[in-house]
Amino acid sequence: MSNDEMKKLQGDLIKAIEGAEGSAALEVVRIEALGKKGTLTEMMKTLGGLDPDARKAMGAALNEVKVAITAALEAKGKTLAAAALAARLEKERIDITLPVRGGESEGRIHPITQTYEEIVTIFAAMGFSVAKGPDIETDWNNFTALNIPPEHPARQMQDTFYMPPSTHGAVAVAGSEANCRAGVPQEMVLRTHTSPVQIRTMMGQKPPIRIIAPGRTYRCDSDMTHTPMFSQFEGLVIDEKTHMGHLKGCLLDFLRAFFGIDDLPLRFRPSYFPFTEPSAEIDIGCSRKGGELKLGNYGDWLEIGGCGMVNANVLRNCGVDPDKYQGFAFGTGIERLAMLKYGIPDLRTFFEADMRWLKHYGFVPLDIPNPAMGA
């Protein structure tokens, strides 16, 4: 075959490749050119019958055509694939500026998230900031700094998740006991409350302090009203003049705003907590007539949390002078507040990821109650 004929063959094959309108058509051209019985393959088979000089020249020419055809096939394949992808993307494109097809969105704001946002909104209006800390804490931050003695039941394995010794590492906690400051390994736990955030705040920030500390907490307990993991929020105020009257006023304003009940009564009942002195249980007014719980000024009471003036030992442990500063702390469960406000009977359902439950108790995004907007 002459050079002109070889060039014509190459041109015809490339023209056929460029004219292929899809992957299937391109594959047909490839088979016709390079398949077992393709044009170039059959021509390669004839090389054995040629004399050496002719075989060398013909082989080089055929190889050149084969390289050109292979490159053209690859380039065309990429072009067709890109075009196919573009067509698919155009066909399957979703206009995210339009409402979801089928009406209302399937997604919901979880009641815990909603309650969390309401709590933060109310306390932000009262001048509180949000403080956070790690879920895995030192024994010092979780217990010792809070004036909780070694024999306290909360330290026992049945109440607290202790981390394996190999994961402890050398954790030094500024302001704690001398061995902590020296870098002696500390026993690590999953925090049983968010009080360690208060400890971290007092150790890292000078008074005045006004924070709330929301977050996950962990305890070895599981039944209709307890789960191994639950959400809690605590509040802390430290300055030179704060007293129990301020504590009650703060909680009264919060609870009335959160539940939307202007005359909701609040009662402090004497109690004991190692980290506060004096300490009190927080009760709110309710009614249980007919087996139905209703919040308000009805003459009955429901416990909702704990509070008190920060114990002087806790202040000392955190490097705060108790002769100059004082303050109060309080805490309750976020799920507990959500259950009371939204009528959710079983704590465990918060964590079951049941879309039927979430559709019933959840909130549609951008259409949720918000104390900041008077809802």
Quickly count: other Cβ atoms within 10 Å of residue 31's Cβ: 13
Q: Which pLDDT does position 287 carry in this prediction?
A: 94
How many residues are given for the chain?
375
In angstroms, rounded to a whole number, what is the distance separating the alpha carbons of residues 100 and 364?
A: 13
Helix (H) or strand (E) holding 74: helix 52-92
In angstroms, rounded to a whole number, what is the distance separating the alpha carbons of residues 313 and 319?
A: 10
pLDDT digit string, tens, across residues 167-211: 444 443 433 444 444 444 578 899 999 999 999 999 999 999 999
In angstroms, rounded to a whole number, what is the distance separating the alpha carbons of residues 39 and 9?
A: 9
> What 3-state class would DSSP assign to 41?
helix
Tokens of 106: 């399937």
pTM of the model: 0.66
Cβ–Cβ < 8 Å for 215, 230: no
Percent of the chain with pLDDT over 70: 87
CA torsion sign for 76, 82, 83, 88 is positive
> What 3-state class would DSSP assign to 273?
strand
Q: Which pLDDT does position 90 carry in this prediction?
A: 86
Angle 189-193-196 (CA atoms, 0-180°, nearest 5)?
A: 75
Q: Which pLDDT does position 183 carry in this prediction?
A: 46
Within the chain, which residues score under 70 in pLDDT? 1-3, 98-106, 157-158, 166-185, 222-225, 366-375
Q: Which pLDDT does position 14 carry in this prediction?
A: 85
In angstroms, rounded to a whole number, what is the distance separating the alpha carbons of residues 235 and 193?
A: 12
Cβ–Cβ < 8 Å for 170, 190: no
In angstroms, rounded to a whole number, what is the distance separating the alpha carbons of residues 133 and 232?
A: 13
In angstroms, rounded to a whole number, what is the distance separating the alpha carbons of residues 189 and 187?
A: 7
Radius of gyration of the chain (CA): 37
Q: Which pLDDT does position 171 carry in this prediction?
A: 44
In angstroms, rounded to a whole number, what is the distance separating the alpha carbons of residues 16 and 10?
A: 10
Q: Which pLDDT does position 369 carry in this prediction?
A: 59
Q: Is 278 exposed, middle or buried (0-12, 13-18, 19+ CB in 10 A)?
A: middle
Cβ–Cβ < 8 Å for 277, 308: yes
The Cα-based distances of 207 to 79, 193, 236, 237, 247 in angstroms read 67, 22, 11, 9, 17
Tokens 């058509």 locate to: 25
Q: Which pLDDT does position 111 carry in this prediction?
A: 93
Tell me how far the alpha carbon of residue 270 is from its chain's centroid. Answer: 38
Tokens of 98: 């339009």
Compute, in degrees rounded to 10, the torsion defined by CA atoms 321, 322, 325, 329: 120
Angle 55-59-63 (CA atoms, 0-180°, nearest 5)?
A: 180
Q: Rounded mean pLDDT of the chain?
A: 85
Cβ–Cβ < 8 Å for 303, 219: no
Q: Which pLDDT does position 22 carry in this prediction?
A: 86
In angstroms, rounded to a whole number, what is the distance separating the alpha carbons of residues 34 and 18?
A: 16
Helix 111-125 and helix 334-342, axial crossing angle in degrees, nearest 10: 100
Domain boundaries, the chain: 3-92, 111-373
Tokens of 123: 């306390």
DSSP state at residue 350: G
Cβ–Cβ < 8 Å for 209, 329: no
Q: Which pLDDT does position 65 carry in this prediction?
A: 83
Q: Which pLDDT does position 180 carry in this prediction?
A: 45
Q: Which pLDDT does position 94 carry in this prediction?
A: 74
Q: Which pLDDT does position 17 carry in this prediction?
A: 86
In angstroms, rounded to a whole number, what is the distance separating the alpha carbons of residues 202 and 316?
A: 10
The reply to whether CATH 3.40.50.300 applies to domain 111-373 is: no
